[in-house]
Amino acid sequence: MQTELSKKLGVEHAIFGFTPFPAVAAAISRAGGFGVLGAVRYTASDDLKRDLDWIEAHVEGRPYGLDVVMPAKKAEAPNHRPLTEADVEAMIPEAHRQFVKDTLAKYGVPELDEGEASGWRITGWMEQVARSQLDVAFDYPIRLLANALGSPPADVVARAHEHDVLVAALAGSARHALKHKEAGIDIVVAQGYEAGGHTGEIASMVLTPEVVDAVDPLPVLAAGGIGSGQQAAAALALGAQGVWLGSIWLTVTEADLSSPAVTRKLLAAGSGDTVRSRALSGKPARQLRTEWTDAWDDPAGPGALPMPLQGLLVADALTRIQKYEIEPLLGTPVGQIVGRMNSERSVQAVFDDLTRGFEEAVDRMIRIAGRSGT
């Protein structure tokens, strides 16, 4: 499964795997794809350095990349300095804090132990945190820097290019993709409506060829609703030079999901069991539908706050829900491809399935084309 882009990056298969887990990223690269480590959960530079050290030791010299979250619009305090976590906390209305307390009380969610901090405060969505991650990352031989929320600032793009690092940005429309091209981005990831996490409103079958045409000759990766080799073949037929997969890795044996209950819910879910909700971050993000997302999407409630307020508001609550495995409220970002995630497999087993299905699909199309030409 080779394309011009995969050859440029030195990978056997044009399969790009986004994951928050270092072991999964390394396994994707070892299997012949391109592992991309998600950095949003790293609020401490030392933690990111530790995991990049680990990847370096286990990737067997194969290429890999990093995904950061730098909002397209910079949030600033009134005096024009970058927002701090304290600034954001002060902007959260008391009514929203009370709504969180009431919802957790309704389901009997215990408090954290005294002195126990939230396991995940979503400060990685603040630009200054992402910049500190880049200060670490550029000391490593990463080959790709991806940004999930639009084009990175111009100085970040220039800095990446100085380090011979390609820059990718996700786009949910051809209009967004054109902005990426104008910003000097090297690769556009066309992320369809079906995708997990932050996503737009256009389905992959429509979006991918629109973006390919809009940014030609830039390479495009197709994302959203892809979890089989047949779907990968369809993406390449639409003009993409590879596929960007995220959700499919959540249930691999190398993944380190903090809650066994989340894994069980993922394996049991069908493709109709996700919802685009602002409950997690303040921006529409596809995730498992739960009674938590229902509460935030209920018109009778206060509604989600904008990013990054919502993420900080719910961080402690999500830690409590996950720690105590309150199943009605327990969820995770995931795409509609969750309906195919029915068993725990290794990364290599997923790759074997993807490449086998790709070959079968290509052979089938060759036979069809051969018959039509006789």
Residue 129 · residue 50 · CB < 8 Å: no
pLDDT reading at 64 higher than 90: yes
Q: What is the pLDDT of residue 55?
A: 97
Q: What is the pLDDT of residue 102?
A: 97
Confidence of residue 78 (pLDDT cuts 50, 70, 90): low
pLDDT reading at 372 higher than 80: no
Q: Where are the alpha helices (DSSP H) in 138-203?
A: 154-162, 174-182
The pLDDT tens digits of the residues spanning 2-44 come to 999 999 999 999 999 999 999 999 999 999 999 999 998 887 7
Average pLDDT, the chain: 91
pLDDT reading at 144 higher than 80: yes
Q: Tell me how far apart the alpha carbons of residues 131 and 317 are, in angstroms, rounded to a whole number.
A: 27
What are the b/e assignments for 220-252, b being 16+ CB within 10 Å? Answer: bbbbbbbbbbbbbbbbbebbbbbbbbbbbbbbb
Strands 285-288, 274-277: parallel, antiparallel or unpaired by DSSP?
A: antiparallel
Between residues 148 and 368, the one the model is more confident about: 368
Tokens 């309150």 correspond to what residue? 326
Least confident range from 39-53, 172-186, 259-273, 290-304: namely 39-53
Q: What is the pLDDT of residue 87?
A: 79
The pLDDT tens digits of the residues spanning 180-207 come to 999 999 999 999 999 999 999 999 999 9
